[in-house]
Amino acid sequence: MDEKVWSGRFHEPVSELVKQYTASITFDQRLAQCDIQGSLAHAQMLQQAGVLSVEDLSAIKAGMQEILQEIAAGKVEWSVDLEDVHMNVERLLTQKVGDAGKRLHTGRSRNDQVATDIRLWLREEIDRVVVLIRDLQSALVDLADKNAEVVMPGFTHMQVAQPVSFGHHMLAYVEMLGRDGERMLDCRHRVNRMPLGAAALAGTTFPIKREMTAQLLGFEAICQNSLDAVSDRDFAIEFTAAASILMMHLSRLSEELIYWMSPRFGFIDIADRFCTGSSIMPQKKNPDVPELVRGKSARVVGHLMGLITLMKSQPLAYNKDNQEDKEPLFDTVDTLVDTLRIYADMMRGVSVKPENMRAAVLEGFATATDLADYLVKKGLPFRDSHEVVARAVRLAEEQQQELSELSLDVLQSFSSLIDEDVYQVLSPEGSLNARNHVGGTAPAQVRAQVARWREYLQSV
């Protein structure tokens, strides 16, 4: 059995139950490469500071390279007795290079070591998430381009409100995802600050060169207070908050895909490879992927609440509580990455049913506002035109007709300002084309936004 590095203080060994309860190696082993990366930079700095010899540095580099190869080959047996990834790597190194491995821990603690490892790991994951966000945006932009002129009902309060382009609707999510990407990159700046050198909580008596270590590891800045450096996990909370907002956006789109695919709407179909059937009802085609995304959004939000609660009552500096930061953070990243990957593929497998969308537009008096605007342009005050159109809608509803199906004589009975050109206004396509300004739903504006996004996505 491996002896603990701190066992000299104690009169009896840790119980097997406590070992299992307190060990983190089962999940933090994924930090091994980042841990080795940080250790190599730390060793190089210690040699420059005169703390390590050239020979020790050379031995550490060679030993770490062997360990990396063994990890990649799946040959490393992680030990629960050694608690965590840091002690496992240190023991492997010491077995290979002897005293040089023991000297590596000079001037640092597991407290600043783990804080550094998490930041190195999360920095890379943020970069991967941003790439996946852009891929999903590209899929949505392509879908928008193909459907710039497809008319669908826009909803408020889940009631038919006004006609919009299906392409315009897709671009709304492209904008949301754009802000999600911005949040991730902004968060990355605060993740990319180096705790190493804070040691346990108060710094170290050795002549370390933190600026050198930060440069070697590609950090933008150094954590300026040793207590703060080892004790806070606000960067992980911030990332999980950004991830929660992103998952919320995908959950909203999932909700729409689910009811759009229902026969009650029949607006879209999702490719079979993203759906499942029923064990008892042979006609069913269930949108399992968007349903599960909707469910997994709750999982990520739950991790955010867990991390906030984890930190809220901790006194400075490091506490064992912080071992609980990794599993929710790891699962948030895994969930986000998997969701973004499958979502981009799924959106490329969405087919649109324009006839059903247009028929739905004609069922809900979606061009009523266009008629009100028409009367305003003829000189009628908006409040008066609102009243005129409301009465026209009431009659159309009673007669089970659309506004465009009312005769000119009937429409003129509500206002003498109405003329034959009103029917162009009352058509769904006329409604779309009339909103030809930046941010509007006109097909020309949709194509302009598609071009803008494609130029941006190709440039980043």
* Helix locations, 49-194, DSSP H: 54-72, 85-97, 99-103, 110-146, 166-191
Cα angle 93, 94, 98 (rounded to 5 degrees) comes to 125
The answer to whether residue 11 is catalytic is: no
Amino acid (1-letter code) at residue 166: F
The answer to whether residue 278 is catalytic is: yes
Helix (H, G, I), strand (E, B) or coil at 73: coil
Helix (H, G, I), strand (E, B) or coil at 268: strand
* Helix locations, 147-233, DSSP H: 166-191, 210-217, 226-231
Helix (H, G, I), strand (E, B) or coil at 298: helix
Single out the catalytic residue among 11, 15, 157, 279. Answer: 157
Single out the catalytic residue among 7, 53, 262, 278. Answer: 278
- How many CA atoms does the CB half-sphere of 432 hold within 13 Å? 26
**Residue 92 and residue 79 in contact, taking contact as beta carbons nearer than 8 Å:** no
**Chain centroid to CA 86:** 29
**Residue 219 and residue 191 in contact, taking contact as beta carbons nearer than 8 Å:** no
Q: How many CB atoms lie within 10 A of CB 363?
A: 10
* Token pair recorded at residue 284: 């069913």
Instruction: Dump the DSSP string for 370-438.
Output: HHHHHHHHTT--HHHHHHHHHHHHHHHHHTT--GGGS-HHHHHTT-TT--TTHHHHHSHHHHHHH--ST
Strand partners, 164: 152
d(CA 441, CA 169): 8
Catalytic residues: 157, 278
